[in-house]
Structure 1
Amino acid sequence: MKTRILFTLSFVLLLTAFMHIEAQPPGERMRGPRENIEVLKVAYFTKHLSLTTEEAEKFWPLYNSYTDEIRKARQESKEDILAFEEAALNIRKRYRVDLKKILVSDERVNKALLAEREFMNVVRRELQDRMEMRRKAREKKDDGQ
């Protein structure tokens, strides 16, 4: 029941945020596509991990720190994929302990560590579907002329 309420609340907040963005004149929009994706990511994680409000307050600062470290390791190891993978593994091992304090079970910690990849796959599929729809619309338009 809590999950449904939390999901509904998250959805309403997201919908309100998008309506607010669309209501602003183009030059005054505060968020770009990257920020919109971040908002969707928060909703995805909240639903996927069934985060309570209390858990979310503790989870997000820790998770943001984790992703910052992963991003930094990726930048430092651009030329050496094995060095990056080793650094990323060490970062995951370190954060796993802290995440377990918040999420309680190993299953939820594993979900949290995999959720970023799953979310990006969802975003990638959505973008591919939109590109395909645009391509088909162009082809249909070209055939009609």
Structure 2
Amino acid sequence: MMLQVKNLLIICIFIFTSFAAFAQQESGGREDRFSQIENEKIAYIIKQLKLTPAETQKFIPIYNQYSKEIWALNSAKTKTVNSNKSNSNSFNRSSSNDVIEFDAREVEIKKEYRTKYSQVIGSSRASQFFVVEQEFRSMLRQELQNRKDKNK
């Protein structure tokens, strides 16, 4: 019975993802494509971590906040690195320190959210989350590389 509910939840997520894909095609926007990828990522995480519907309901809001924080941090890091590149032709020490500070902050955010995730899905799966997230990114990069190679 629980397996059927879990499968139904996963099917609903994929249907939602399909609607998001259709909406993306209609609008053609970059933000829509990012939204579609994010929905696919969430579905992948739920499946790989074998989250129950109750766990999923509690996990998703925490994940969304984590995702916003990481996105903001990476955006700030990119702006800082690009600013340092445009201000100087040579690599200076302050830009190196900025990158290290951003990386250190990323580690702190991940530690904070591992604790939050563990309260919902347990310590083991909370730690596994970061591996699953990295697997998804690798799959996405591979897919993009395959598309590039196909279009050559």
Query: Quick check: TM above 0.5?
Result: yes
Whether contact under 8 Å (2:45, 2:129) holds in the other structure is yes
- Give 1:17 deviation, angstroms: 4.7
Cα RMSD (Å): 3.0
Stretch moving more, 74-83 or 17-26: 17-26
TM-score after normalising by structure 1 = 0.73
TM-score by length of 2: 0.70
Residue number in structure 1 paired with 2:52: 52
Q: Give the gaps of 5 or more residues in structure 2.
A: 82-97
User: Is the CA contact 1:7–1:47 (under 8 Å) kept in the aligned structure 2?
Assistant: no
* More deviation, 36-45/76-85: 76-85
Distance of 2:112 and 2:70 partners within structure 1: 12
For 1:15-37, what per-residue CA distance to the aligned partner results, in whole angstroms no more than 9, with x for missing partners?
Answer: 465268549983599x8221211
Match of residue 134 from structure 2: 117
Structure 1 unaligned regions, length at least 5: 136-145
Task: Give the match for residue 120 of structure 2.
Answer: 102
Change (3 A) 1:15 1:131: farther
Match runs of 1:13-32 below 5 Å: 13-15=13-15, 17-18=17-18, 22=22, 26=26, 32=32
2-structure distance, mates of 1:128, 1:53: 34
Match of 1:83? 101
